[in-house]
């Protein structure tokens, strides 16, 4: 492990890699950005990437690969069945997680689909620390209920709790007592709560939650998509782990679970996914779904080149220097925003910086989607694309009632090894300008609202003329500048 991780009084992160391939970016003038936003139905998912300057929508599938990953792609073994590439990936997963069986899938939600089809019984519950959009959609789609048991600090926007992603073990015990263990299809823990600030789970909580499940014979499932950041936080925040290596922490977590699934668009820095399984019987129970929905058992919809890259990416994830870059850049961004009094989720988590739109835009009602409005305004003011993680990302219930999200967040994801610190500083400056001009920003309403996963492709419009007013204010402050 390198010894220097921050410098200048622990203020600035120091990257232990250099950039060897670059891609040119476009920064369009604000009038063009405003037009592009209108064409995209005020939904950042519908923007063309060519119109985006810094793409902080997600880190999914867009982390920078290493030279070793690129090199490995050249030795990929193209075979429908029995590819040596698959054997290498499988062996790496066995080495890291210690589970013998693996089912490949083309990405994380495909793994969720297989788990939901194979393990979730209608009328049962799937308790979890917190839901993710696709995981919930697959579970409810087969007629089961998602029950969220996040501990109280998890829903507090500002906190100094080191593990806000922890599951409330007492609440789980109560639920099991009430409904009976048979009514629980499995317990899912997300290693880092995507929708509420990328907050980590402690090793102790992994152990306590899964011990309780084992006592009741309940299957335990880890969503390891965000595991890399969680490993970093356990290492630096949990006393007992300070002297453990990253592979040791990984194995200590894995040992708690029956099943581990992941999106390799995040974990492994490639594009793919899959399900690691401890017991042969369970593997055999799920196996048939892979050729039906994904592809043969030795690729599951992934390209062999990506599988090679994932194998190396998983190995690199066991390197502290590699996994600290993301959370340290995020911590820098969060600290700089806090210095400017901009409301953000604290403590800094994984995945990205999460701006609290509810406090940023207190004058915009939740029904008018403050997080969606702020993401729109940020793109217009800066060309930075963030993601709404609030009420827009929720789904109407069976009676058509729109649930209000627990939090209204704009997530500014920092794909690993992609942006420089000066680009992060640019984003901070423009968020600061928006904060000074926040009174100008109004709400949004739907003009086209899809029934399922509406946030992906729904179209909206500003309520009133605020987008034009924002452009005018920008021109008056910045002159001809972009």
Q: Give catalytic residues, as residue numbers.
A: 80, 132-133, 223, 266, 389, 455
Residue with Cβ nearer ligand F0G (169 or 387): 387
Restricting to residues 186-205, name those near ligand F0G by CB under 6 A.
190, 194
Cα–Cα distance, 368 to 409 (Å, whole number):
14
Q: Which of 107, 267, 270, 106 is nearest to 191 (CA)?
A: 267
Residue nearest to ligand F0G (CB): 108
Smallest gap from residue 113 Cβ to ligand F0G (A): 9
CA dihedral for 179, 181, 182, 186, sign (positive or negative) = positive
Per-residue contact flags (x/-) with ligand F0G for residues 20 to 59, judged by CB under 6 A: --------------------------------------x-
Smallest gap from residue 382 Cβ to ligand F0G (A): 20
User: From the centroid of its chain, how far is CA 79?
Assistant: 32
Residue with Cβ nearer ligand F0G (76 or 412): 412
Interaction of residue 343 with ligand F0G, rule CB under 6 A: no
Smallest gap from residue 290 Cβ to ligand F0G (A): 15
Per-residue contact flags (x/-) with ligand F0G for residues 206 to 245, judged by CB under 6 A: -----------------x-xx-------------------
DSSP line for 176-190: HHHH-GGGBS-EEEE
User: From the centroid of its chain, how far is CA 109?
Assistant: 12
Restricting to residues 267-296, name those near ligand F0G by CB under 6 A.
273
CB atoms within 10 A of CB 243: 8
Interaction of residue 60 with ligand F0G, rule CB under 6 A: yes
Cα–Cα distance, 28 to 34 (Å, whole number):
10
| C-alpha distances in Å from residue 168, one per residue of 165, 217, 229 | 10, 19, 21
- The burial of 344, by beta-carbon neighbours within 10 Å (0-12 exposed, 13-18 middle, 19 or more buried), is given as buried
Q: Are the beta carbons of 146 and 206 closer than 8 angstroms?
A: no
Cα–Cα distance, 273 to 369 (Å, whole number):
32
Interaction of residue 70 with ligand F0G, rule CB under 6 A: no
**H-state helical runs in 383-465:** 421-436, 454-457
Token pair 């995040």 in the structure block, residue: 266
Q: Which of 303, 223, 313, 272 is nearest to 106 (CA)?
A: 272
Q: What are phi and psi of 256, to 5 degrees?
A: -75, -20
Residues touching ligand F0G: how many (CB under 6 A)?
16
Cα–Cα distance, 147 to 129 (Å, whole number):
8
Smallest gap from residue 133 Cβ to ligand F0G (A): 8
Residue with Cβ nearer ligand F0G (139 or 441): 139
Residue with Cβ nearer ligand F0G (134 or 166): 134
Restricting to residues 93-152, name those near ligand F0G by CB under 6 A.
107-109, 132, 134-135
Per-residue contact flags (x/-) with ligand F0G for residues 249 to 268, judged by CB under 6 A: --------------x-x---
Residue with Cβ nearer ligand F0G (140 or 194): 194
Smallest gap from residue 223 Cβ to ligand F0G (A): 5
Smallest gap from residue 35 Cβ to ligand F0G (A): 26
Token pair 């899964």 in the structure block, residue: 210
| C-alpha distances in Å from residue 39, one per residue of 50, 138, 347, 368, 453 | 14, 31, 36, 20, 20
Smallest gap from residue 452 Cβ to ligand F0G (A): 15
Residue with Cβ nearer ligand F0G (129 or 346): 129
Q: Which residues bind ligand F0G (CB under 6 A)?
A: 58, 60, 107-109, 132, 134-135, 190, 194, 223, 225-226, 263, 265, 273
């Amino acid at each position: 492990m390198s010894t220097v991780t921050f410098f200048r009084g622990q203020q600035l992160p120091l990257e232990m890699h250099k950039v060897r391939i670059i891609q040119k970016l476009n920064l369009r003038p604000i009038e063009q950005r405003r037009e592009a936003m209108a064409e995209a139905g005020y939904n950042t998912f519908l923007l063309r990437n060519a119109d985006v300057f810094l793409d902080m929508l997600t880190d999914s599938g867009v982390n920078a690969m290493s030279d070793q990953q690129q090199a490995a792609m050249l030795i990929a073994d193209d075979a429908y069945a029995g590819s040596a590439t698959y054997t290498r990936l499988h062996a790496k997963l066995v080495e890291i997680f210690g589970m013998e069986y693996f089912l490949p899938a083309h990405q994380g939600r495909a793994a969720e689909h297989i788990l939901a089809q194979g393990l979730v019984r209608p009328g049962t519950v799937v308790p979890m620390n917190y839901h993710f959009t696709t995981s919930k959609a697959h579970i409810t789609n087969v007629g089961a209920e998602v029950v969220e048991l996040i501990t109280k600090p998890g829903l507090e926007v500002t906190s100094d709790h080191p593990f806000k992603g922890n599951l409330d073990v007492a609440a789980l015990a109560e639920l099991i007592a009430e409904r009976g263990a048979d009514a629980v299809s499995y317990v899912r823990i997300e290693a880092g709560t995507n929708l509420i600030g990328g907050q980590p789970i402690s090793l102790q909580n992994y152990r306590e939650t899964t011990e309780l499940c084992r006592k009741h014979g309940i299957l335990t499932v880890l969503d390891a998509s965000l595991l890399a950041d969680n490993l970093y936080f356990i290492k630096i925040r949990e006393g007992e782990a300070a002297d453990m290596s990253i592979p040791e922490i990984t194995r200590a977590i894995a040992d708690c679970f029956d099943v581990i699934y992941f999106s390799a668009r995040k974990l492994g820095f490639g594009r793919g996914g899959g399900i690691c399984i401890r017991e042969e019987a369970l593997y055999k129970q799920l196996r048939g779904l892979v050729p039906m929905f994904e592809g043969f058992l030795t690729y599951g919809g992934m390209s062999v080149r990506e599988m090679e890259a994932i194998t190396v990416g998983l190995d690199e994830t066991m390197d502290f220097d590699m996994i600290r870059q993301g959370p340290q850049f995020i911590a820098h961004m969060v600290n700089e925003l806090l210095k400017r009094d901009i409301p953000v989720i604290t403590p800094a988590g994984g995945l990205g910086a999460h701006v609290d739109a509810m406090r940023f835009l207190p004058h915009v009602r939740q029904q008018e989607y403050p997080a969606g409005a702020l993401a729109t305004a940020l793109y217009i003011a800066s060309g930075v694309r963030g993601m709404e993680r609030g009420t827009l990302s929720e789904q109407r219930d069976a009676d058509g009632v729109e649930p209000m999200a627990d939090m209204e967040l704009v997530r500014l994801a920092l794909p690993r090894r992609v942006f420089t610190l000066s680009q992060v500083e640019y984003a901070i400056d423009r968020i600061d300008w928006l904060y000074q001009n926040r009174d100008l920003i109004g709400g949004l309403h739907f003009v086209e609202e899809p029934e399922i996963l509406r946030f992906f492709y729904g179209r909206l419009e500003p309520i009133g003329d605020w987008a034009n007013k924002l452009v005018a204010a920008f021109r008056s402050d910045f002159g001809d500048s972009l």
